[in-house]
A = this chain, B = another copy of it.
Amino acid sequence: MNLLRDTVKGIGSIDGHWYSIAQKRLDNLTKPPGSLGRLEEFARRLVAITGNTMPGFDKKVIFTFAGDHGVAEEGVSAYPREVTRQMVLNFLNGGAGINVLARHAGAGVVVVDIGVDFDFPDHSVPHHLNTSGTGGLLISKKVMMGTRNIRKGPAMTRKEAEKCIETGIELANEYAEKGYQLFGTGDMGIANTTPSSAIAAVLTGRSVCEVTGRGTGIGDEPLINKIKVIEDAISVNRPVPSDPVDVLSKVGGAEIGGIAGLIVGAAAKRVPVIIDGFISTAGALIAYSLESKTKDYMFAAHNSVEQGHKIMLDKMGLRPILDLDLRLGEGTGAAMAMLIIEAGLKIYKEMATFGEAGVSEGIEG
């Protein structure tokens, strides 16, 4: 068997009659029809994705995939490479943005070392650090010690790219079986907006400068350099747009592959999955290119500052939930969007109907 191919084949279509079932209940709640806008859309989609008229929402998890990037040596980021592993430790310790926001959303954080250039010791939470709250769980699924420099050659072999995607699928399967009802994606990897922009350019057909932004906050000169690096990476590697695994292996990243796999696996298991920001959306676009039905299982968390983000969301026909000028990644936008999607489900499940509340229905207008 081939896990990637078989999982992609196992992704089913959404059965439209679930939307009608959910809509019927929504229209009977004590509010003008449609007046809760997108909250109602989220409820309908959760019912249809899960095929359950009363879907649960108790077990939520954000997967933050971490990997290093050989292209960091080209000066494309405002931060040194060691920040990837330092931030992984920060995630484990509970002090990062994703920890704070996942706690706020009632979600767990699973940090997946899929390609960090550092060997984390077991139980590597640095106990001497002083922060509040619980940290993330580290899962070691290392496929490589960081990608190779895409300006000079492929990021990874095709086999490694498949392994990254299958790692995400395995995690989706494991957590679906554990009873988790909602997944969020996240990323950590210094320089990873560079491969994400490369993927965006190749898979949307737009020019590199249209889909390349300032990442963690580089200035004008480094931005010009970053665009050149991505253009070089594409001309050196010649990724084939119709072959998403080829694109991932040539100009991608380990964490981007893991995210793509998580989405593919979630779709096959009918678990709704919230796509975080720019890097996660590059992973989502790989998943979508493998099988466009994956889109029906995705929620786009937010509209990032990174300019290529909206172009990729438009390509998939996804409308972002939030627009808060975020550009941190890690899954922070996904955690926030969880709170909004959950609000939609609670409306659907907890509001009184006209009959229950003794409220008069509308006059035909």
Contacts and interface: CB of A to CB of B under 8 A. Distances in A.
Contact of A93 (B87, B103, B342, B352): B352
Given A90-B357, A328-B31, A346-B104, A97 B365 contact: no
Determine chain A's interface SS by DSSP, over half rule. loop
A363 B325 CA distance: 22
B327 A222 contact: no
Given A78-B363, A362-B78, A363-B78, A132 B328 contact: no
A359 B87 contact: yes
Contact of A34 (B32, B83, B217): B217
B218 A327 contact: no
A305 interface: yes
Given A357-B86, A357-B89, A352 B131 contact: yes
Interface stretch (A35-43, A59-67, A175-183, A285-293): A35-43
A302 to B, nearest CB: 9
Interface residues of A, number: 68
Interface string A90-103: 10010111011101
A150 to B, nearest CB: 20
Interface string A209-247: 000000011110010000000000000000000000000
Interface in A31-87: 31-39, 78-80, 82-83, 86-87
A317 B327 CA distance: 24
